[in-house]
Amino acid sequence: MGTVANTGTAETATPPPVVATPPGRARADRAATRAAVLFLAPALLLIGLFFFLPVAAALVLSLTDFDLYAVGDLENTRWVGLRNYAQLLQTPLFWGALRNTFYFALVGGPLSIAASLGAALLLDSKLVRFKGFFRTVYFAPFVTTLVAVAIVWRYLYHARYGLINWMLAKASIPPIDWLGDPDWAMPAIILMAVWKNFGYNMLIFIAGLQSIPRELYEAAEIDGASWWRRFWHVTLPMLGPTLLFVGVITMIGYFQLFAEPYVMTQGGPLRSTTSVVLLMYEEGFRWWRMGYAAAVAFVLFVVILAATLLQYRVQRERDAR
Amino acid sequence: MTWRGGRAWRGAAALLLAACARPAADDRVTLRFWAFGREGEVVQELVPEFERRNPGVRVRVQQIPWSAAHEKLLTAHVGGSTPDAAQLGNTWVPELHALGALEPLGARAAASSAPPAAFFPGIWETNVVDGEVYGVPWYVDTRVLFYRTDLLAAAGYATMPTTWAGWREAMRAVKGRMTPGQYPILLPTNEWPQPVILGLQTGAPILRDGGRYGGFRDPRFRQAFDFYVGLFRDSLAPALSASEISNRYQEFARGNVAMMITGPWEIGEFSRRLPPELQDRWMTAPLPGPEGPGVSMAGGSSVVVFRSSPHKELAWKLVEFLAEPAQQLRFYQLTGNLPARRDAWQDTSLARDAHLRAFRAQLDRVRPLPKVPEWEQIATKVFEYGERAVRGRATVDQALAALDRDVDRLLEKRRWLLARGALGTRPAAAGEAR
């Protein structure tokens, strides 16, 4: 499928060929460079001021033990080098939070993408009627306030009075303490998060599906390809760029898991739903251990960066094949 | 276009300046007072009287939700925008003192109509850090037992026992008459006051060496912790966190739980939320202790004056006003918050309320919590490790050892500051001689 335009992917434009500059044009080039710098300056300034500067400040912060005492008197700050990072890596709570975050991202992410793709395929099908209505219904959870959603889901999950356990009881399955059992709390959060978020990716997938030329399907049909083969050999490859985009965005979003456990479980029971961001929030804004929290943030940054690079690598290898 | 835009901006700026300047032009002094949650709403009904007595003074009350209060106080301190006076949860006093935000009030209090002796000693003590007073108690909060009298009576108990052994016996008797899904006592696993209070009851120091290290492996704390975990082990309490109990009043009304340890605000909640036929079937009792009536924690809110205030004398007047018995009573009638002043309790409306009797008795036996800025964080660790032990993920000894290790790490900065002499050096542990 090399002919497909690779919109919005890692496939960067090949660098322009370097041509030796004739000496007479050097001054004109310098002027052009100056103009370019001038035009870029506002954007660079803003990015520098509001992105690179804070990031650098946070990096410096993560090398200190800035905390509540330091708020009172800056003298009470110590330069601790990498001690925050060392301490972090020795804390079982951090590893637990990292494990929970990976659990959420690696199970919830693919599940969410699968649900979005499934819903998009359904809505793209010629057989479905009232498409506008269903699109709205599936998209509605995404635009609903998380706190309101969480309150409703807490009731759905209630061990004694919840709708889900009631339905399980109808199927003679013993009740599950969804939010109270450390082994079930994360699946419960994943289920809710997938339900809440799949509508957004669904819309992107619908757009992706609609841009696939119908002739490809017609040709495949004439060749006698089954629905499954058409999906596997036409739809999926044509959706490649969309999938990568959705995959990266979803993964980044899912690694930043915060609001769901914050509202539903406060990270419990037994810290089984504490994510890295929740840990960072607690350390930073609840306990004001800013240096330590900044270290957590940088570790999370490295994790997300690594995961994103990995996804690009996988996609590029697939495209190369 | 740009020129006209410029003029519009200048006009707006001039207006803004005028708006800022207006209060200064007014010759009345404005006192800024912060109060939290419901208290912030209700205190607005008290201030007109203060303004009447102090002509030329206007009190601007800013109401802040409890959930945002702590962060708001810290950011205000950093940003230099603290009010003149504020309500403060009394466990926050050491923290704001560590920031250097609070004005010492000892000398003013001693010479005023709100002397230390007028308050419950355990409550007053919460405002004393490093030997100096930084707040005046506004209302008190302590924890007692709320229980279903009918369920206890059916199990053969006309009154609540006063010792741990008797208490546990009563729970067993109640459990004997319950179905498997019902429990004699509700101790939400994500609440720290219950295990900490039991620790205060055995006389455990909670923190040792002047708040430098965790003292949780102390045999006295171990005894309390074991008692606490034992209640779950013996199925006398369900291993549920507060967020899993959608409606504790419903559970209480249905007889799914017969007791809980909670605070004065529940008196109002119980009266409102329990069905009418249950209203004469619940009562409060002081907490049992290891050998007899036990202590409880000294909670509640104080009123403090900020060091940065330009109107400290006036702010103190407001503090003194809020501590008057009459204002304390009015505040109680408006909120249900219990007066911190002993003489206010002689009023008939308090003396006659049967549900308040346990609180009155308990208030003579309250102990402050450890006075270190890290306390909230330590308290969270206490219930986290309590939960591990309750759910069988750690033994009592493992949980306490891990708790001490975590708490020692949290207090590392404090030890360093104490060694440098950057903090007051007086011991700050709980249970210190009063």
| pLDDT at site B208 | 93
The answer to whether A269 contacts B99, with C-beta atoms less than 8 Å apart, is: no
CB pairs under 8 A between A and B: 72
CA distance linking residue B164 with residue B227, whole number of Å: 9
Task: Return d(Cα B99, Cα A87) in angstroms, integer.
Answer: 25
How far is residue B20's CA from residue B4's CA, in Å, rounded to a whole number? 24
Token representation of residue B63 = 């109401």
pLDDT of residue B156: 95
CB-nearest to A155 from B100, B246, B393 is B246
Pick among A69, A79, A163, A165 to test the B interface (most B CBs inside 10 A): A69
Q: Which residue has the tokens 């809505």?
A: A123
Cβ contact A72–B101 (<8 Å): yes
Q: Show the CA angle centred on residue B308, arms to residues B307 and B314, nearest 5°.
A: 75
Strand B132-133 relative to strand B128-129, pairing: antiparallel
Q: Which residues contact B340 (CB under 8 A, 6 or more apart)?
A: B119, B120, B123, B137, B138, B139, B140, B300, B323, B328
B387 chain-A contacts, CB cut-off 8 A: 268-270
d(CA B283, CA A80): 54
Q: Which are the contacts of B135, defined by CB distance < 8 A and separation ≥ 6?
A: B88, B90, B93, B102, B105, B126, B127, B302, B303, B304
Q: Which residue of B has its CA nearest to A263?
A: B243
> Residue A151: what residue type?
I
Note the pLDDT of residue B312: 94
Q: Which of A76, A87, A287 sits opposite B377 (nearest CB)?
A: A287
Per-residue b/e over B143-177, b at no fewer than 16 CB within 10 Å?
A: bbbbbbbebbeebebeebbbebeebbebbebbbee
- Give the domains, in start order, of chain B with CATH numbers: 25-141+299-367 (3.40.190.10), 144-297+371-420 (3.40.190.10)
Q: Look up residue B252 and give its two tokens.
A: 């209480």
Residues 6+ apart with CB under 8 A from B343: B118, B325
**How many Cα neighbours within 13 Å face the side chain of A134?**
14
Residues of chain A with pLDDT under 70: 1-24, 321
H helices present in B26-104, as ranges: 37-42, 47-53, 66-79, 93-98
Interface residue A73 vs chain B (CB under 8 A): yes
Beta-bridged to residue B259, according to DSSP, are: B147, B185
Question: Nearest CA to B408 among B188, B208, B113?
Answer: B208
Can you tell me the distance from the alpha carbon of B273 to that of B242, in angstroms, rounded to the nearest whole number?
A: 17
Distance CA B387, CA A269 (A): 8
Residue A233 is given by DSSP the state I
Q: Which residues of chain B are within 8 Å of residue A69 when distances are taken between CB atoms? A: 98, 373, 413-414, 417, 422
Q: In angstroms, what separates the C-alpha of B384 from chain A's closest C-alpha?
A: 7
Interface of B with A (CB under 8 A): 71, 74, 77-78, 95, 98-101, 181, 189-190, 239-241, 243-244, 246, 373, 376-377, 384, 387-388, 391, 393, 409, 413-414, 416-417, 422
In this prediction, residue B78 carries a pLDDT of: 83
- pLDDT value of position A23: 60
List the one residue out of B338, B340, B332, B306 whose CA is nearest residue B114.
Answer: B340
Alpha-helix runs per DSSP H in B143-207? 149-154, 164-176, 193-201
- pLDDT by 10-residue block (mean), chain B, 434 residues: 46 50 63 92 93 94 87 86 94 89 93 90 91 94 95 95 96 95 93 95 94 96 97 94 81 94 91 92 96 94 95 94 93 90 87 91 93 90 94 95 95 91 51 35
Per-residue pLDDT tens digits for B77-98? 888 899 999 999 988 999 899 8
Question: CB burial class (10 A; 0-12, 13-18, 19+) of residue A6?
Answer: middle
Q: Give domain limits for chain A.
A: 91-320
Q: How many CA atoms lie within 13 A of A210 on its CB side?
A: 9
Distances in Å between the alpha carbon of B146 and those of B123, B152, B194, B268?
A: 22, 11, 13, 12
A76/B417 CB distance under 8 A:
yes
Chain A residue with minimum CA distance to B374? A287
Indicate the class that CATH gives domain A91-320.
mainly alpha
- What b/e readout covers A178-211, taking b as 16+ CB neighbours within 10 angstroms? bbbbbebbbbbbbbbbbbbbbbbbbbbbbebbee
For residue B51, the tally of other CB atoms under 10 A from its CB is 14
- Tell me if A73 and B387 make a contact (CB, 8 A cut-off): no
CB < 8 Å to A161, chain B: 246
Which of B181, B393, B417 has the CB atom closest to A69's CB atom? B417
Burial of A214 (0-12, 13-18, 19+ CB in 10 A): exposed
Contact A215/B at CB under 8 A: no
Task: Report DSSP letters for A42-83, one per residue.
Answer: HHHHHHIIIIIHHHHHHHHHTTB---HHHHH-GGG--B-TTH
* Cα–Cα distance for residue pair B404/B411, rounded to 1 Å: 10
